[in-house]
Amino acid sequence: MLFQLLLAFFSMLEIMGREKDRLNPPLLRQIHRINGYVFIGLFFVLSYYCMIFIRATHGEISSRILLHSLFAIGVILMLTTKILFIRRYRKFMSKVPAFGLTIFFLAAGLVATSGGYYLVTSAEPLPQSQELAGNQPDASQQALVEKGQELFNKWCVACHDPNSKRAGGGPGLQGILKVDKFPVSHWAATVDNVRRQLRTPFRLMPPQVHLSDEELDHIIEFLKTI
């Protein structure tokens, strides 16, 4: 998507911003048009998966996801208006470059709040935790484990099987704190990184912002037993 944005930006500047020494205008118009169709198709495919992502948060979305959604809505509105001006209301053709620039900056913000965010947050894993993972609970911890299992069954089991390593909507979590690295992010399999994954997930998992720190601890106690 970032490549498409830069291509659209460059071709638009060459077509409408230069008066002399322009590159092949007919070819650039064709490239700009085809690139636009591909961008729209990719945008709506990604929007479909983003809607699934937001639905999985059960209405508890972070400020980053909210900002990302506002950028997406802005792109849809500006793109629709630009197409209407080109196809139907040609009297407003002089406004098209301004809408094109607006779409570029909105879509750049869209990319930055998704791909840019994950590029930054997944660059370096947390250091190995001092906590011991994988221990079975004693009698005093059993209530915590049961509470963690209840929370896991409510919020996690739709995507993660606790009794196998088979992937569903997400990876199976059997023995997740008894291995060296998590299967997808390849972060060290530590309690700290479980908390990190639940708060600022790697890739497509929705952040579990609705869970309190105490509830995270309960879930972790359950994960230690599977």
64 contact partners, CB below 8 Å, separation of at least 6: 113, 117
How many residues can be counted in the chain? 226
Q: Say yes or no to pLDDT of 59 above 60.
A: no
Last residue of a domain, one of 121, 147, 173: 121
For residue 214, what are the domain limits?
139-223
From residue 226, alpha-carbon distances to 98, 136, 175, 190 in Å are 56, 9, 6, 14
Tell me how far apart the alpha carbons of residues 221 and 225 are, in angstroms, rounded to a whole number.
Answer: 7
Any domain includes 127 = no
Any domain includes 76 = yes
**pLDDT by residue (tens digit) across 92-146?**
888 888 888 899 999 999 888 887 777 775 554 444 444 444 444 465 678 888 8
Q: Say yes or no to pLDDT of 77 above 90.
A: yes
Do both 10 and 93 map to the same domain?
yes
Do both 107 and 182 map to the same domain?
no
Any domain includes 37 = yes
Last residue of a domain, one of 121, 155, 185: 121
Any domain includes 134 = no
Do both 12 and 104 map to the same domain?
yes
The H or E element spanning position 117 is: helix 117-121
What's the number of domains the chain is made of?
2
Any domain includes 31 = yes
Please give the model's pTM, rounded to 2 decimal places: 0.53
Q: Say yes or no to pLDDT of 186 above 90.
A: no
Any domain includes 128 = no
The H or E element spanning position 196 is: helix 191-199
Last residue of a domain, one of 88, 121, 154: 121
Do both 158 and 98 map to the same domain?
no
Any domain includes 131 = no
Do both 144 and 197 map to the same domain?
yes
Do both 101 and 173 map to the same domain?
no
